[in-house]
Amino acid sequence: MSAVGSQKRFTPARISAMKGGKPIVCLTAYTTPMARLLDEHCDLLLVGDSLGMVLYGMETTIGVTLDMMIAHGKAVMRGVAKACVVVDMPFGSYQESKEVAFRNAVRILQETGCDAVKLEGGEEMAETIAFLTKRGIPVMGHIGLMPQQVQTAGGYRSVGHSEHETSKIRRDAHAIGGSGAFAVVVEGTVEPLAREVTSAMHVPTIGIGASAACDGQVLVSDDILGLFNDFTPRFVKRYDELGKRVAEAAAAYAEEVRTRKFPTAEHTFKRRP
């Protein structure tokens, strides 16, 4: 639980009220130090299951567990004073039934102290989201490209190109918009369609690889900082190349250790008189 939790100002209700107004700023956070750095600049911090790929070297998010999400959710909450914190429900933690989803969502909220959970899925998950929200659990939806379904979707690719995909996303937006979700992530969706569903929905849309017309934007922090280099999606903009700078710092340190330039007297302890 955040030591400054009582001072937090952004809540799911406040995020929802930002529909059509000032764009919502969202980034991912997985650790306490990163949460502290991002908190001042973000309205919402997402503890995304993308941590499986970014931090653990997994090929997809499928292997992420509930315990992992809770551990990182706790870490982020220790570093937050302002932003609304949403924790992803990992694959397998909510699809079986709405009752299973409820139990796991309660565990996330109780053990992390976060503000809300996020789960992927369109019309097939609307009943589950309604079940959770009616029982006091704030839920963020996620439609369009859904990374947890990458195995059946044929890989990571943009969606909304065919009439079949367009129709499905429209139905998903309508269903999730009426389910009680306070906001919806729209991922990897072609611009005209993302713009259309944003206009049609009464709750905020937060785009990632979608339209600038979305009510907010989210990116993976390690992507914008140049810390994750396995691949760079088309929708990512690099704002720095910290990975290169980390490697350069490590190389300089290694050189000084090997040439005995480090440590010097100022970095060592002397015996007390």
- pLDDT score at 273: 84
pLDDT tens digits along 235-260: 899 999 999 999 999 999 999 999 99
pLDDT tens digits along 141-157: 999 999 999 877 667 78
Backbone angles phi, psi at 73, to 5 degrees: -60, -45
pLDDT tens digits along 31-45: 999 999 999 999 999
Q: How many residues does the chain have?
A: 273
- pLDDT score at 7: 56
* CB-based burial, 180-201: b 16+ in 10 Å, e otherwise: bbbbbbbbbbbbebbbbbbeeb
Annotated binding site for 3-methyl-2-oxobutanoate: 49-50, 88, 118
What's the whole-number mean pLDDT along residues 52-60?
Answer: 95
Question: Alpha-carbon distance 270 to 273, whole Å?
Answer: 9
- pLDDT score at 5: 45
pLDDT tens digits along 148-192: 998 776 677 899 999 999 999 999 999 999 999 999 999 999 999
Which one-letter DSSP state was computed for residue 29? -
Task: Point out the residues that are catalytic.
Answer: 187
Question: Alpha-carbon distance 163 to 169, whole Å?
Answer: 10
Question: pTM for the complete prediction?
Answer: 0.94
Annotated binding site for Mg(2+): 49, 88, 120
